[in-house]
Structure 1
């Protein structure tokens, strides 16, 4: 369900008495219109200071998301039209609350707080499968259709108001338009029938996607326990997805006999423990928490902890030390971590990435490049220099080392197949700039803005590229100038559409 941080989308408005649509009700909102609404909302999310593009966590989440998408297609839950028209993007939020949400047009949001508390990849998969099913079943558009007298733009303003309220409760009134939008707020929460449908379809995606269906049950149990012990607003997923006894019993009954009792005992992989630790550190826990995590490996009971727990503790200690600019402490913890995970390919890859990240932060770009090169040459590690975390970190290290040209080819290949990767475009711009290729750098900057739907800024940079090309000179590539002209016309058209929506 759409739920942002701690802003509860239950507005006590007496006038909102219309029943939610029953399952099977059609949607009057076209897929194109829903996508445009999602694009409008997502533009603001990209500008939110809590938005984070962490390649390591994003890559791990995508590794769970892609099999779920494939399973939804194979089972006929995801139609070819939705597959083509929707964005299917996941944004990460630097927020400690345990939350995930779906937005119009195939966008999903996941807070680092959620990733930090789930103990297995199956539990995280259950949340993503549930949210994916809300989108594939058009629950969002059906709710919008139910509010037939309201416009989609009004809904967009309401959602953005909820986003603002997560940081400043008073800001909601500035963005939500009048009493009708407040009434809509009460209708945004999915009906119990829709929640059950998302449970049922999401559960059905788990096994075909390669995940243990027990993840659904253990996640429900974890959320319910948190609700009993500490419902202090830090578990907003419970409020937007109320866990009824019926829903929990339904998930338990779907497990084969004998497997329900084992649902809560599925062990965490070392890779998941490391990603969860990274999420906890990057969620801005504060200096005191960082210092506590740094000290934890020195405790007397550390050696008796399960392997996954020790790995998570060491990862948090190394990354926490790095956050506090303690290079020596970070290197020491990272070395212990690498020794512990050497025989686990996926975990060893993350340890090498962390070691390179630490060296880069310490100012030794050459050591960071070497660490990544050694990992790429070690086939037993199971890593690939073509994966996004390696690509981004290696490019950053090459730029710092004054070897920008070595990263150009890989980046060009990447953006050719991932044109909406704004981070990669921005790195390519820096790479071209470092090589004195100003025109190509300007075009890459423009593409980075366009990838995040900031068409006004993109048009500005494309026009700057045109001006640069007109001045001529030996560095002007006429093919690049022609591409800029073509892209400018396309983005200007998108900017006009954007302005018309307002």
Structure 2
């Protein structure tokens, strides 16, 4: 991740926080060393036993950084994209565990959590404690699962090899505040250069040549380990070499700072050659080029194409960008540009129509996507059909037709039926995207007297299922807490609504706001009933945790 602006002169040296984000972004940008800066003794690559930063301490650091990062509006949760990313991420985690890259001493400690950044730049970065940031721009340019997985495998290997801990041990002045400032500043650059530069300069560090060399060694180690993880997970290991060449070629053709991944992960000819050499002399076309793809691999391939299309829309939701996507989707198939997949073109247009809340286009493009899905091979059709149906339901909800959207997602609850009941359903009732959309649909149902029972049933069902989802996520699902707060408010359950709102505030770093909510609700219920008392006791227990987190954050920020 590009965490530093172009080289500028400064009047005073600042802490070496850059090195930490470099571990996150995985390469230190070249800058002049501070006058009189002490030398740095570098640990041996592969030796993590002597690191003073424990996995527990690194996770706590990552949690603090994430509480700041989640506040940024560019950090988003799109359930469809998130699910696809999580599926690939989980397969890489399983591979790393099997290979021994993830050891028992920190497997249960780290978050191992990817998150999405609404940004057009091609980028990904790792943070302390196993948090991985992924820009929509990266998803938009990766055409195959192997290409995308190769970047995730590389970032995962920076975490498993404890590169962040190694660099942190070289910078005693670094703090979670400076790292968070760097990450937030880099994200803010895409929206406001002035604001982003201010945040970056507030936490920017200087890098010495020794650290630069160390980071190059880290890059090579992450390449080597990541390629092994990629292969063991069942992906074509040539995906890493192909991704290197794709990014290098694209940046040469379009050198407009859209590829910060290349500035923080410099792709030298040597690194590309090493990636190819590790394939044992096989052609770049792929070790598995002549092997038929399994049904699951085919399903993942079509999911990558559709998620990539969705990301192209979500990364730039301006109407001036969405218009051309709709225009291309409206063309007859024979008039589409050469090499353009009709399914991808029509699905891109459908997502754009949903973003524009254009009901007529949502319906028209849904029909086109349905026809494209029907023409797919049997191995790909169910996956593509589910993504289409989820996006169609999203469009119905966002264009004022929540009851129809809910009927698609949960036909047993409502009396209505999908617009096209002949369409075979590929939805997964207990999956997170379906649950989140059902909650959104229930919240958007109109308050009508005749349908009050159905509305209450839909809201109650959404609440119970979101709570189960939250339990599975160990209380870390920010979007689910936000939805729960709205659902409980609509159900006239104020205590539960306050709990959900406070949990969401705490996850977004507003610990004082979470505590203020608890204090306010305590005053509101001076003599609670037995049922309310249980809820208040839960709130009190959570408040003690938030108070301790707040004290720790303030102490470390000042120290």
Q: Do both proteins adopt the same fold according to a TM-score greater than 0.5, normalized to the shorter chain? A: yes
Confirm or deny: 8 A CA contact 1:217 1:252 kept in the other structure: yes
Residue 526 of structure 2 aligns to a residue whose secondary structure is helix
Q: Note the C-alpha offset of 1:108.
A: 0.9
The worse-fitting range, judged by mean Cα deviation, of 462-471 and 37-46 is 462-471
Going from structure 1 to structure 2, the CA distance change for 1:306 and 1:405 (only over 3 Å counts) comes to farther
In structure 2, what is the equivalent of residue 406 of structure 1?
Answer: 461
Which residue of the other structure, out of 544, 549, 552, is the alignment partner of 1:494?
549
Within 5 Å, give how 1:12-411 maps onto structure 2: 12-15=31-34, 18=39, 21-24=43-46, 26-148=50-172, 150=174, 153-166=177-190, 167-169=192-194, 171-172=196-197, 176=201, 181-183=205-207, 187=211, 191-255=215-279, 258-262=282-286, 269-284=301-316, 286-299=318-331, 302=334, 309-342=341-374, 343=378, 344-373=381-410, 381-401=425-445, 402=455, 403-411=458-466
Q: Is the 8 A contact 2:74 2:118 kept in 1?
A: yes
| Alpha-carbon distance between aligned partners in 2 of 1:319 and 1:6, rounded to the nearest angstrom | 33
1:421–1:130 Cα change, 3 Å: same
Higher normalized helix content (fraction of residues): 1
Alignment of 1:431 onto 2:482: no
> Which ranges in structure 2 are unaligned for 5 or more consecutive residues?
8-27, 414-420, 446-454
CA distance in 1, matches of 2:213, 2:364: 48
Could you tell me how far 1:466 is from its partner in structure 2? 2.3
Moved more, 333-342 or 256-265: 256-265
How large is the Cα RMSD of the aligned pairs?
3.1
Offset, 1:411: 1.2
Matched, 1:3 2:2: yes
State the distance in 1 between where 2:181 and 2:284 align.
43
**Following the alignment from structure 2 to structure 1, what is the Cα–Cα distance between the partners of residues 132 and 4?**
14
Task: Provide the C-alpha distance between the structure 1 equivalents of 2:112 and 2:53, rounded to a whole number of angstroms.
Answer: 18
Q: Secondary structure at the match of 1:102?
A: strand
Q: Highest relative contact order (Cα 8 Å, sep 6+), 1 or 2?
A: 2
- Paired residue secondary structure (2:121): coil
Distance 1:396 1:157, change over 3 A: closer
Q: Deviations over 1:289-309 (max 9, x none)?
A: 211111113436646779982
**Contact 1:349 1:375 (8 Å CA) reproduced:** no
Gaps of 5+ in 1: none
For 1:450, the equivalent position in structure 2 comes to 506
Asked whether the equivalents of residues 144 and 152 of structure 1 are also in contact (C-alpha less than 8 Å), the reply is no
Partners of 1:175 and 1:450 lie apart in 2 by 24
